Chain A
Amino acid sequence: MSTQWLALQSFQQGQDLLEAINLVSIHTKLQRDGMAGTEHAEPIQQSREKIKAFLQALATLVHQAETKPDQPLLGIDIRRQQLVDRFLEAKRNPRRFRSTLFKKSIEEAIQLLTAASDEERQQLISSLSELRALIEEHIDRDTARILGEF
């Protein structure tokens, strides 16, 4: 009886999130230059909601981990725990992770999802880019487990 289901869930959640990040990132860049059409408004909005829900859940866990560092996070699987650890590690690496999401707070990054000014849009693009790198690195292990290596 296999336990690959844990890897699958982490892989699928990561995939969903990355698709959402890519869509919003492209849309925001086009929007910044006045090139974004309205024909994909619904998937873009759904993607924003998906990113927001993910960040809100992450914020709760990160807050717990930061306020009680000597206690394990409960009610989450080991892959989610590792994602939180990876996020905290990224926050301590300002040379690589410099966006609002890592330098300021998750809550401020959530606000950027409805960015209206060019400056805020730029901050959103940077935050999404760094979040994407973090998630891609995180699900690499799940990908190897599910798809194998060649």
Chain B
Amino acid sequence: MRTILQQSNLDLLREIEQLKAAIHERFKDQDWSASAPDLLPYYKAIVSACNQMHQRVKRNLNHLNLGRDDILEDILSETQELSKQFHFYNRHLLSPLMRYRDSDRLCLRLLRWLHEHHPDTKSIPVGLSDGEFGIWPDPQIPIVYYMPTSAQFGLLYLPLFFHEFGHLLYACHKPELDDLVRDFQQEISALLGPIAERDDAYSKAERAKRTDIIRTWYVWMQELFCDSVGFGIGGPSFAHAFSMYLRMRGRREYQVPEDELTYRGHPVTWLRIRVLADQMRRANFQHEAETLEQAWEIAANTMGINEDYFGYFDKAFLPLIQKTIEDMLVETAPRNFTDDDISLQKPLSPQSSPIHLLNYAWATFLSEPTQYGEWQRQILVGIKW
């Protein structure tokens, strides 16, 4: 076992050193810290993580050199976990550095701005990678945001990052927000009615379904919170991006079979639209909320789909959902859009916030969709990096 562990640790040591050399090589010939200052903290965090893993391997080798058999099981576990951690970095966290291209600067600038506008995230490094919108929300590691490649070159889908940012805020405030979700689960449990005491098959099935609904809402509540963070930061631009991105993805965005709802990672998108529209109305965006819901209703009617969540949602849940979200927003305090951010009368200027730019972009697209591409090209050329 000792020989096996020595080999594996020496191999890991070599791999880490090789990786560090590759990162250094990738960036040595360009003054990239000047051209991509928003990636610099991420670069430093990755190099630092490699150094920490290097130290852990050396510690393993030191422990092996003690010559004791009784700690081999501990070193084995440590070597395995370290290998997995290194593999995780290799597979997911390296790509923002190794695939970096100049076009990343738009997304990185927005993400850096986003992190800097919250005290809990301002020192957390950000990177960008290709893929479906997503995030690895752990404040202890550098944060990677994922975005489909084509979307990275434009403005319209950038607001969807704000939803992902919500996951990071949740992770930063997990104990407090988990408590709020627990209270919410207790309340919907009460709304679902008393538990049948009978021991027949029907009652057992009802109890099981009720438990499934309550448990499923743990994750759903987090997703709805993230949607609200998205709207709170991005205003109407978030609602437009969210709706446009998802509404043409087919039937499953409108209705999901009952047996697939249990522990589903997200609420059905149509339900998320309902909650988002409700939030917009309460923020005095009546017209926008109406337009948003109508688009989904028209598409659903055309497909012949009736709105049905099979007991996983009831209108009586909505006030509880909104109350919980409000409390979560108070706890996490994300930046809220300002009047200037959503003003279309106020012209864009170098001093405009990114939120103003994104709302302007959506307004331009919706009013002049065929002219939008050229408008966006000119705007992006005009941005000084």
* Residues of A that sit less than 8 Å from B by CB: 1-6, 8-9, 11-12, 15-16, 18-19, 21-22, 25-26, 29-30, 35, 70, 72, 74-78, 81, 129, 132, 136, 143, 146-148
Contacts and interface: CB of A to CB of B under 8 A. Distances in A.
A75 B181 contact: yes
B335 interface: no
A59 B20 CA distance: 42
A132 B74 CA distance: 9
Given A4-B134, A5-B136, A19-B78, A72 B178 contact: no
Given A5-B137, A12-B141, 17 more contacts: A1-B266, A11-B88, A12-B140, A15-B81, A15-B85, A16-B140, A18-B78, A18-B81, A19-B81, A29-B68, A30-B71, A70-B195, A70-B207, A72-B211, A75-B179, A76-B178, A147-B88
A78 B218 contact: yes
A77 B219 contact: yes
Contacts of A143: 84
Given A2-B146, A26-B74, A15 B84 contact: yes
Contact of B171 (A9, A22, A147, A148): A9
Given A29-B68, A147-B84, A75 B182 contact: yes
Nearest to B63: A26
A9 B163 contact: no
A25 B75 CA distance: 10
A21 B76 CA distance: 12
A131 to B, nearest CB: 11
A75 B178 contact: yes
The 4 closest A-B pairs by CB, nearest first: A75-B182, A3-B265, A2-B134, A74-B182
A19 B134 CA distance: 27
A1 B132 contact: yes
Main secondary structure, interface of B, reads helix
B214 A5 contact: no
B323 interface: no
12 contacts: A1-B160, A3-B219, A5-B135, A18-B78, A22-B78, A25-B71, A72-B211, A74-B182, A74-B218, A75-B179, A76-B218, A129-B73
Contacts of A77: 218-219
A2 B84 CA distance: 21
B384 to A, nearest CB: 32
Contact of B214 (A9, A12, A72, A147): A72
A72 B215 contact: yes
B65 to A, nearest CB: 13
Contacts of A5: 134-137, 167
A49 B77 CA distance: 20
A141 to B, nearest CB: 13
Nearest to B210: A72
A25 to B, nearest CB: 5
B219 A8 contact: no
A8 B84 contact: no
A78 B185 CA distance: 14
B354 to A, nearest CB: 21
Nearest to A146: B88
B61 to A, nearest CB: 13
Contact of A9 (B138, B181, B185): B138
B186 A74 contact: yes
Contacts of A147: 84, 87-88, 91
A80 B185 CA distance: 16
Contacts of A15: 81, 84-85
B26 interface: no
Contacts of B56: 19
B213 to A, nearest CB: 10
Contacts of A22: 74-75, 77-78, 81
A34 B137 CA distance: 42
B132 A8 contact: no
A81 B71 contact: no
Contact of B92 (A26, A76, A132, A146): A146
A31 B164 CA distance: 46
